[in-house]
Each structure stands twice: as C-alpha cells, then as structure tokens.
Amino acid sequence: MKLEFVQLSLGPMDNNSYLLGDNEINKAVAIDPSYGSEALIEAAEERGWALTQIWLTHAHFDHISGANQLARAFDSPLPIGLHPDDMDWYQQEGGAGKFGLSIAQPPPVSIHFKHGMTLGLEKDGEAVVEIRHAPGHSPGHVMFYCDALGVLFCGDVIFRGSIGRTDLPGGAMSVLMESIRQEVFDLPDDTRLLPGHGPESTVAYEKAHNPFLRT
C-alpha cells in the first residue's frame, strides 16, 4: 500500500472533508463530504484515484451535505457507510431543518459501521482503517484510525484545543469525555488528529493543552 490523504475545506462551515487513497491500486474513499463535493471528485481525478465509497463519521447535516451529489456522480452510486445509531439524524437531512436549512437526502446507507470493524478502500480489499465508536457529540459518531499513516479522522469528537458540542439531541458531555479518553488518548502520542473543522493536532498536544481534558 502507498496510502495518502487529502484534506479540503468545504462549505460555509469550513468543514474538513477528506480523501484517503492508495497510490498502488489508485482507489480512494471520501470521508464526510460537505457542500461543494465536486471538489473531492476533482481532487481524486487529479491523482488518478477512482472513488469507491463514502464514509461518514456522523450524520449531522454539514458532514453529509455533499453525500447525495458525490454518491450519484457515478453510474453506480457509491456505497455509503454510517453507524446505525446515527440513522435518525441521517434520515432527517442531518438535522438541517433545525437551522432553517435543507439538504438533498443522500441515498440509503449500505455499510453499517460497528466498533472494531476494519475497512478497505474497496470491497474485500486490504484493511486500511479501524473504526472507533466515539459517542457523545452524536450517538453513532465514529472515528477512522489509520495506523499506517499514524492519523485519526476524528470528525467532531475533538478539535485542537477544544471538543465537540454536546447540546444537540443525543449529545452528552460525560459520554464524549469518556470517548476521548478511551478512543483517542489510548493512541500513540504522535498520532495526528484530523478533525471535522479547524487545524489538525496530535494526541500529545491535546493531552497537554486541551483545557477540557487536562487533568
């Protein structure tokens, strides 16, 4: 494998959407496609990658707003993966209506994530990430840990110097804190944290400097 990831900041909420690709097989997946997901298609094409799947850390609208456009950009719609505990959010346009917005409803989920599951860039392909269920921001929030690259695609669980909000339905501060301590802080200190918004960080930096988590 020759893995590489690409980060793009998309949409009015500056969402970090990602491509995770393998330069040996020229396949890639899209993680959390936000508004303007055609940029993900262009970035994949520039690298000669064929997109195979869409992986969602969770189903809040800003993280799924580009999923419909991206999935249907191909003759065979791309499979979409999500944890079942976020299905209520997914089936209600990610809660966009709570903010006076509307998004195109993505196609049905066909890959049902669970904690400890491993994923490849294509069906039955070599595993490249491990799924870590990390509720608290939303009930079905997951993170994707890629040991080969030393990175954690952490969605809205943890940010540089901050944590995900817990005031939306299904959120819980105590649950989020436990998720971070068990599923983020048990990784090597030099693991790069790739969040859903803002700059990247590391496990070591957050252990030492995150004001919500310092002990």
Which parts of the chain are beta strand (E)?
Answer: 3-10, 15-22, 27-31, 50-55, 80-82, 111-112, 118-120, 127-133, 142-146, 151-155, 158-159, 162-163, 192-195, 201-202
pLDDT of residue 215: 57
- pLDDT tens for 76-112 read 899 999 999 999 999 998 988 888 888 899 999 999 9
- pLDDT tens for 123-134 read 888 999 999 999
Percent of the chain with pLDDT over 90: 87
CATH topology of domain 3-209: Metallo-beta-lactamase; Chain A (3.60.15)
Element spanning 173, H or E: helix 173-179
**Whole-prediction pTM:** 0.96
Can you give the residue ranges of every domain in the chain? 3-209
DSSP states of 27-89: EEEEES--S-THHHHHHHHHTTPEEEEEE-S---HHHHTTHHHHHTTSSSPPPEEE-GGGHHH
pLDDT of residue 172: 97
Higher pLDDT, 96 or 188: 188
